[in-house]
Amino acid sequence: MALIWSSSFLAIKLGVKDIPPFTLVAIRMIISTLIIVSILRIKSLKLPRDMRSWVIMIIIGLSGSIIPFVLISYGEIYVESGLAALLMGITPIITVLFAPMVHEDETLTLKALFGVFIGILGLLVLITPSALTQIGAHFLGQLAILLAALLYAFSTLFVRKYARLPVLVISAGSMISGTVLIVILALIIDNPFAMAMPSNKSMLAVIYLGIFPTAIATLIYFYLISRVGAARISMINFVVPVVGVILGALFLDEKFSLNVFIALLMIVVAVYLVAKKPKKRFQNTSDK
């Protein structure tokens, strides 16, 4: 999951060079929806017909896909990928802090709080001082990414509490509802049919976004959240910046410095502290 989400930052950066944010999101959503709906049909599953289920899926589609996708795509026009990763680090912090208030089976322990603190330090170690000096350079771009991070936190908590349908059904319903809206907005705002033909690199980036960070990642996300909990799955957002830097070093010849290795160790410790469930005390039932 971290590997797929990490690669999306690079793909978005390549895509928005030639494709406006609304159109980029519309294309990736269309591709993703076609894939997920096709799988739904192969599995002979049907979408629900009751209003409550569709309201839930529409909220998930908006808060977990459409609005964050547009905000991040807009933000990455102006914001460096490293700083964008740091700003997205607020997602696990918000989720871990609020999860116990929303879900009875999620607890906020001192160990988990310490893990969040270590994760924040790891992100700060990862992002070089040169990236931090950009804070305030483009307020609206940074604000867009921060809002996307908050929406991801809300979506994670919402899905954990209200999504009770099968993974494929929730994925398909949220994708369909989100795609209809974003296509309409893209046609009105960007007028994509009047645009120049994007470069092959940008088109390949959008196709990749539709297949992997949107379709496949959505299926994995809904599969995991009911099994590991909102707080634990949100810790992926601590891992994303590190994996993103590693991918940059492997495919873009970017420098893999000592601070990346140190940050990786710190974030692994942070994820372990938050994700590890407390041991249950042994109860001797022989006397009962």
Per-residue model confidence (pLDDT) at position 216:
93
The answer, yes or no, to whether residue 276 has pLDDT greater than 70, is no
d(CA 24, CA 70): 8
Give 32-66 pLDDT, tens digit per residue: 999 999 999 999 999 999 999 999 999 999 999 99
- Comparing 99 with 129, the larger pLDDT belongs to 99
Look at residues 11, 147, 16, 13 and name the one whose alpha carbon lies nearest to residue 80.
13
Torsion over CA: 13, 20, 92, 4 (sign): negative
Mean pLDDT of 138-162: 84
Total residue length of the chain: 288
Confidence of residue 8 (pLDDT cuts 50, 70, 90): confident
Per-residue model confidence (pLDDT) at position 287:
45
**Whole-angstrom Cα Rg for the chain:** 20
d(CA 71, CA 146): 9
Query: 3-state DSSP call for residue 127?
Result: coil
Give 169-217 pLDDT, tens digit per residue: 988 999 999 999 999 999 999 999 888 899 999 999 999 999 999 999 8
d(CA 191, CA 225): 37
Question: What pTM was computed for the model?
Answer: 0.77
Torsion over CA: 242, 83, 236, 247 (sign): negative
DSSP 193: G
Confidence of residue 78 (pLDDT cuts 50, 70, 90): confident
Least confident of 20-29, 101-110, 111-120, 138-147: 101-110
Least confident of 71-85, 140-154, 235-249: 235-249
Percent of the chain whose pLDDT exceeds 70: 75
Residue 49 near residue 235 (C-beta atoms within 8 A): no
Structure-block tokens of residue 63: 């808060």
Per-residue model confidence (pLDDT) at position 140:
81
Mean pLDDT of 234-257: 68
Per-residue model confidence (pLDDT) at position 204:
95
Burial class (CB in 10 A: 0-12, 13-18, 19+), 275: middle
Mean pLDDT of 270-282: 60
Q: What is the mean pLDDT of the chain?
A: 80
Per-residue model confidence (pLDDT) at position 260:
66
Confidence of residue 279 (pLDDT cuts 50, 70, 90): low
